[in-house]
Amino acid sequence: MLGHQEPDYFQDKDEELLAGLATQAAIAIENVRLYQTIHTRAQELDTIFQSIQDGVTLIDPQQHIVHENKQAYLLRTRLEQSQQSQPALEALLYTPARYALTGQGNQDIPVTIVNKNDEQAEYLVTASPLYQQQSTRQDTDTVETQAISGAVVIWHDVTEIRALLREKRFYAEIEARRSLLQRILDELPTSVYLVHGQDARLILANQTAATVWGTTWLPEQPMIDFLQQNQIQIFRNDGRSLPMEELATLRAVQSGEVIYQQQEIIRHADGSSLPVLVNAIRLDTKTSPLSHPTTWQNEQEPVAIVVHQDVSALKETENLKDDFIGIAAHELRNPLAALQGFIELFQAQLLLQPNNNLTPEQQESLENIDQATQRLVVLTNDLLDVTRLQAGRLELSQEITDLVSLVKRVTHRHQIISKRHQLIIDTQVPFLIVSIDVMRIEQVLTNLLSNAIKYSPCGGQIQIKLEELKASRQALLSIKDSGIGIPAYEQARIFGRFTRADNALSNGIYGTGLGLYLSRELVERHGGNIWFQSQEGQGTTFFVSLPLIAQPIDDESEAEIAEI
């Protein structure tokens, strides 16, 4: 051993020494192996520790951070850089740790942190004490005890989970409301539907809506696509096609107009027609909580509720009424013509007689009969025009005309009739060439000027202004009076048939209520518009716009117009 060959060179004590060294070497080798094993396990534990998605922090009894995983480190450093670092770390870490160091465990403590952008982060904090086994001797016995050696604090980020839960509850509430609203709407006898967006995409509709349209309108389908796909056409009350941009539904969502009782006729693909009254109102909301979930985030989507009322029965009754009015007007026309002829003949004979034997009372009665007959003739003609309009039989005979000359001629005639009113024409253009039915536009001018005179019982000025709108190639006429005006609450319906303002009746001003209705229909059939501005007690201004002819005028035509 150790290179010696001599016998008995080593003695017993040397063998004991060698045995001790061998034992120590074996212990050292085992310690190394155990250290490597412990080190490997420690690395494995640290890998597991770092892979935990929650933040985990170990605190010693002096409240110092002993160890933390990556998630805890990132959160702590982010909080330390914020303006609310101290209260945030206190709520998330140190307060739960202090409780744990006293032996009190804390489970799922809710903590909310708000950053500088007012964004909330929600955490559930769990803190538990760490115990270390200790042995103490008491007399001849060994007593095992546990002492708190630190605390572990776990931060669980529940921001996204709670946001998802809130969103799920929100969607559930929305669907519950939609379901309740759907059940209520399905019980209504009229068609009701909700649309949103500039293209009027359907949100929901009741069962009657499918009956009105003759088919089912799918959710989120734009209205124009729906109409075209199902070959549905919309017409005016007089049978003319209604442009898409004038549909009550599209006007409500695109321009925010409030539409009441717009008459439309729905023609289905099978040729059947359904007359309806349409009310469309844009809802006062920035969001559409009843719309499809994919659109909830768009806060600028306009939403409108639209109601269709089937007026087939009313329409039939109205047609019968119009037929009766037409028959009555026709039957009155001939007797009135005869009566008017006899009155004119009688007046002519009186003028030829040198000695008029009529008393003043008789002469006044004859004039009253003449005026009443003329009013009946005007009424009869208006009733006939109304029935023609309703039946779509009113035809226009258009010709190129100077609007300025026409207005001057009609104004002059009314100035002769009314001595208490001063009719003033204001125009800076020599002529305005339009293509119109002269008789019908003269009828409109007569209605407007007669109203201006009639509704200004105290007399005064009536201003007639003519101008050219070059940008839109239109002629604009305005007639302004200083009369009784139209009450604000009645202005929306003033163009209706047989409609008259209450203050007209209270002032003893009588009429049929057909003049403005006929005027609007006639102007619109010429491609123009009519509207007004009025304030009760301060007068009314009516405006009429008509398109100017597009083609240029040669010198010969201009000379002819100048001679008119």
pLDDT for residue 559: 53
pLDDT interval class at 305 (50, 70, 90) = very high
pLDDT of residue 498: 77
pLDDT score, position 220? 93
Where residue 183 falls among pLDDT bands split at 50, 70, 90? Answer: confident
For the purposes of burial, counting CB atoms within 10 Å of the CB of 150, is it exposed (0-12), middle (13-18) or buried (19 or more)? Answer: buried
Q: Residue 203 contacts by C-beta under 8 Å, 6 or more apart in sequence?
A: 193, 194, 195, 196, 219, 288, 290, 291, 292, 303
- Residue 131 confidence (pLDDT) above 80: yes
The fraction of the chain above a pLDDT of 70, given in percent, is 87
Of 96-100, 111-115, 208-212, the one with minimum mean pLDDT is 111-115
User: Which pLDDT score is estimated for 72?
Assistant: 81
Phi/psi for 485 (5° steps) reads: 75, 180
Quick one: pLDDT band at residue 296, thresholds 50, 70, 90? very low
Lowest mean pLDDT among 207-216, 363-372, 417-426: 363-372
Listed range (152-166, 374-388, 531-545) with the worst mean pLDDT: 374-388
The secondary structure of the chain in percent helix, strand, coil, rounded to multiples of 5, reads 45, 25, 30
Model pLDDT for residues 256-290, shown as the tens digit of each residue: 889 988 989 999 999 899 999 999 999 876 544 55
- CB burial readout 493-511, b (16+ within 10 A) else e: ebbeeeebbebbeeeebeb
Higher pLDDT, 29 or 401: 401
What integer pLDDT is reported at residue 292 of this predicted model? 47
Q: Where are the alpha helices (DSSP H) in 81-205?
A: 85-89, 95-101, 159-186
Residue extents of the structural domains in the chain: 1-47, 52-132, 166-310, 316-391, 399-563
Q: Which CATH architecture has domain 399-563?
A: 2-Layer Sandwich (3.30)
When mean pLDDT is compared across 199-213, 288-302, 350-364, the lowest value belongs to 288-302
How far are the Cα atoms of 122, 300, 324, 561 from residue 196, in angstroms, in the given order?
A: 35, 10, 43, 52
Rounded percentage of the chain residues whose pLDDT exceeds 90: 28
Which pLDDT does position 25 carry in this prediction? Answer: 81
User: Domain 166-310's class?
Assistant: alpha beta
Choice among 34-43, 300-309, 424-433, 517-526 with the minimum mean pLDDT? 34-43
Strands (E), 86-227: 106-114, 120-138, 141-157, 191-196, 201-205
Q: What angle do CA 109, 110, 111 make, to 5 degrees?
A: 115
Would the pLDDT of 492 be above 70?
A: yes
What's the chain's length in residues?
Answer: 564
Query: Which H or E element spans position 481?
Result: none
12 vs 423 pLDDT, higher one: 423
Dihedral sign of CA atoms 298, 243, 445, 372 in order: negative
pLDDT of residue 294: 47
Specify the pLDDT at position 301. Answer: 83
Residue 134 is which amino acid? Q
The band of 297, judged by pLDDT with boundaries at 50, 70 and 90, is: very low
Cα–Cα nearest to 508, from 436, 457, 452: 457
Residue whose tokens read 């102007």: 523
- Amino acid at residue number 424: I
pLDDT, residue 400, reads 94
Per-residue pLDDT tens over the stretch 449-490 = 989 998 888 888 999 999 999 998 999 999 999 888 998 888
118-132, 348-362, 487-501: which has the minimum mean pLDDT?
348-362
Per-residue pLDDT band for 551 (boundaries 50, 70, 90) equals low
Per residue in 319-353, pLDDT (tens digit) is 777 777 777 776 777 787 777 777 777 777 777 77
- Residues β-bridged to residue 474: 469, 547
User: What contacts 557, CB < 8 A, 6 or more positions away?
Assistant: none
Separation CA 539–CA 549 (nearest Å): 32
Q: How large is the average pLDDT for residues 436-455?
A: 92
107-116, 173-182, 202-211: which has the minimum mean pLDDT? 107-116
Per-residue tokens: 227: 């109409």
- Give pLDDT tens digits for 9-34: 656 676 777 777 888 888 888 777 78
Q: Reply yes or no on whether the pLDDT at 93 is more than 60.
A: yes
CB neighbour list of residue 324: distance below 8 Å, 6 or more residues apart: none
Average pLDDT, the chain: 82
| Per-residue pLDDT at 426 | 93
Distance, in Å, from the CA atom of 301 to the CA atom of 318, rounded to the nearest integer, reads: 39
